[in-house]
Amino acid sequence: MSRQIAIGYQAPFTSDLEARVRVLEARLAHLTELVEAMTRAVEQKP
């Protein structure tokens, strides 16, 4: 069974991996902005 999986496996292209990294970086930046905004909102509450 493992031999069949290994034969059918194709490593992703570098360009695909780079695209995935760009998407993850954008998501991380967005989440960071949200956390910073939430932190400012909590700090400003009386």
For the chain, counts of helices (H) and of strands (E)? 2, 0
Per-residue confidence (pLDDT) for residue 29, from 0 to 100: 98
* Tens of pLDDT, residues 1-46: 466 666 777 888 999 999 999 999 999 999 999 999 999 999 998 7
pLDDT score at 2: 60
Q: What is the pLDDT of residue 31?
A: 98
Which pLDDT belongs to residue 10?
A: 84
HSE of 7, CA atoms in CB hemisphere, 13 A: 4
Would the pTM of this model clear 0.85, i.e. be above it? no
Per-residue confidence (pLDDT) for residue 9, from 0 to 100 = 78
